[in-house]
Structure 1
Amino acid sequence: MSLTTEGAVRDDVAAPVTDTAPAGEPRRRPRGRTLLAAALVVVVAAATAVLVWEHTGRADAAGGLDHPAEREQVMSLTSQFVKRLGTYSPDMVDGSGEMPAYREQVREVITPKFAADFDKEVATAEQLVAQGGITRSADVFATAVSSIDDDSARVLVAGAFTDSYAQGSGKKARTVDQEPLPFRFTVDLVRTEGEWLVDDFTPVSSPSDEADGAGATEGSTP
């Protein structure tokens, strides 16, 4: 899947021109989603509990509990992947405008196939960080195994991204924090030569997203 359009970065990364405000002006959340994000962050814990229960039940039916060690491994790796993918800041940008440490932290937990897509898309995120001074952190609320066998697994993960950006310069410089933006992903993993790696991930839509006329990508992509 496309990294920048489906979940690696927010809509503002996929379209930096529309989400980067001139100096001195507050950045606007695209498509008027500020109020929706604020509402979602209040209910995301409850929604996560429901989703985890549903997907855990499916895992039980699919025999996922027959792989207890593997379940722990894939949930741990999924959490690592999301945190690495959703953690970057201007101090990671080098003289060439790239974020080598960010690239490396993500590549360590993904397959070569996924890495090829990641390498094509990451420059967009680097441009936004370098030009807009964007800092992002990721919190993972819960993970649950949807399905698992000897060499593949699917994990549901829910959490929130929190962004901030620098405004002004010199003595007037300040950091502006954005509202946390909830996310829900299904993460596909494969085991290659005994090692679990992330092979893909997909946003998961919610009823509130559909009520607003948004599809899976719009409603769930950070």
Structure 2
Amino acid sequence: MLAAVLLAVSLAAAATAVTLLVTRGGEGSDTQAGREEVMAQTEQFMLRMGTYGPDLLDDSGAMPDYRSGVKEVITSKFAASFDKEAGAAEQLVAQAGVSRVPDVFATGVSSLDEDSARTLVAGSFTDTYTVKDKTVPQEPIPFRIEVSLVKIDGEWLVDDFSPVTAGGAVPESGDPVPAPSDTTSTEGTP
């Protein structure tokens, strides 16, 4: 009788352990999928926001494809702020022939729940300028940025971003359009 009770307890414990492993494994893969999703959206945001140049200008000196590409990955709240600042990039491109290309080195997740996330992204921006019909490349400008995302209707969207460190060439919160750096300094907004 004692052997039967021990066998039943052992089987129940084994079943519980298997259930916990399966449940945790499922949550782990859901969590990993969520992490990968927010990191991918963060990278898309940086690539879209940090890529512009004369080829995006229309006849009026605006960059409608640039604006719409960025707006696809940001919240409407953030889009209002972005619209106010996008003109600065358009003006630099139209007047100085500025081009910018980002290179994202790494992204990571600092926090994640079902409807909000914070990510960290590091990389560099490479600018070129047109001076007397000659393209002048600049040294890459490093950036480290914390990005806030929210999940709206099942889609992760960027809601804000801010520099991780005070120094270096990173945009400040509320300045969503990276502007070219001064050629003599690495401080300021990208």
- TM class by shorter chain equals 0.7 to 0.9
CA distance in 1, matches of 2:43, 2:121: 7
Q: With CA pairs under 8 Å and 6+ residues apart, which has the higher RCO, 1 or 2?
A: 1
Task: State the partner residue of 1:71.
Answer: 35
Retained in 2: the 8 A contact 1:71–1:145? yes
1:148 matches 2:112: yes
Q: How does 1:92-111 map onto structure 2 within 5 Å?
A: 92-111=56-75
Cα distance, 1:91 vs. partner?
Answer: 1.4
| 1:167 Cα offset (Å) | 1.6
Q: Runs ≥4 in structure 1, deviation > 6 angstroms?
A: 63-66
1:122-201 aligned within 5 A:
122-168=86-132, 173-201=133-161
CA contact (8 A) 1:205 1:219 kept: no
Q: Indicate the RMSD between aligned Cα atoms, in angstroms.
A: 2.5
Aligned twin of 2:164 = 204
Amino acid in the other structure paired with 2:94? A
The residue number in structure 2 matching 1:221 is: 189
Matched-pair contact (CA < 8 Å) for 1:183–1:221? no
Q: Which has the larger radius of gyration?
A: 2
- Alpha-carbon separation, structure 2, partners of 1:148 and 1:140: 21
Q: What is the aligned-residue identity percentage?
A: 60
The answer as to whether partners of 2:98 and 2:128 remain within 8 angstroms in 1 is: yes
List alignment gaps of at least 5 residues for structure 2.
Answer: 1-26, 173-185
1:162-193 CA-to-partner distances (Å, cap 9, x unmatched) read 0001121xxxx321000000000000000011
> Comparing both structures, which one devotes a greater share of its residues to helix?
1
CA drift at 1:221: 3.4
The runs of 5 or more residues in structure 1 that have no matched partner are 1-62
Aligned to 1:60: none
Cα 1:65–1:145 change in 2 (3 A) is farther
Q: How high is the TM-score relative to the length of structure 1?
A: 0.63
Give 1:118's aligned residue: 82
2:171 and 2:129 map into 1 onto residues whose CA distance is 27
CA distance in 1 between partners of 2:171 and 2:56 (Å): 30
Count of equivalent residues: 151
Distance 1:94 1:216, change over 3 A: closer
What's the TM-score, normalizing by structure 2?
Answer: 0.73
Aligned match for 1:81, one of 25, 34, 45: 45
